[in-house]
Structure 1
Amino acid sequence: MTRKKIAGLLATMLGASAIVFVTTACWVFGNRPEVPQELLKR
């Protein structure tokens, strides 16, 4: 493998892991917990 292919593979793996960690930690997709009212006040 060339360095370019290795770098592309590494970038893809890092991007996929970032998506996993950014998504909600709940097994039910689309579940969004309610935001506390204290955080909504400006």
Structure 2
Amino acid sequence: MKCMCRNDKKAEVFVLGGVLEQRDGILLHPDIDIPNGIPIR
């Protein structure tokens, strides 16, 4: 499971239904290469 996250903020990453959810407001998907994740508001 790859997590292309360049934000090194000691954030806890949870696996929810195949989507990596990071606590500092960034969603990461294991099947999609996204440089900085998907910022959510």
Q: Which structure carries more strand by proportion?
A: 2
TM-score (ref. length: structure 2): 0.15
Q: Which structure carries more helix by proportion?
A: 1
Larger radius of gyration: 1
TM-score (ref. length: structure 1): 0.14
Q: Which structure ranks higher in relative contact order (CA pairs < 8 Å, sequence separation ≥ 6)?
A: 2
